Amino acid sequence: TCKVNFPDPNKLHYFQLTVIPDECYYQGGKFQFEIEVPDAYNMVPPKVKCLTRIWHPNITETGEICL
């Protein structure tokens, strides 16, 4: 299950995503991400930050996504 929240309705390029898995290892968890899509999107990737403290090999302790 995913939910999208736009804190500022005038900034559609900035939003927060909440993911609540129905199955798998993370079932029952609630994970929040902050997403900012730059004006140069397509040539520049979106900036994604995990706001929920989690141990994952692709997420740093401060929430930056490393892909």
Largest CA distance in the chain: 36
**Residue 66 is among the residues annotated as catalytic for this protein:** yes
C-alpha dihedral (12, 54, 58, 31), degrees to nearest 10: -30
As given in the structure block, the two tokens for residue 60 are 């740093």
| Candidates 2, 24, 50, 66; catalytic one | 66
Which sequence positions are flagged as catalytic? Answer: 66
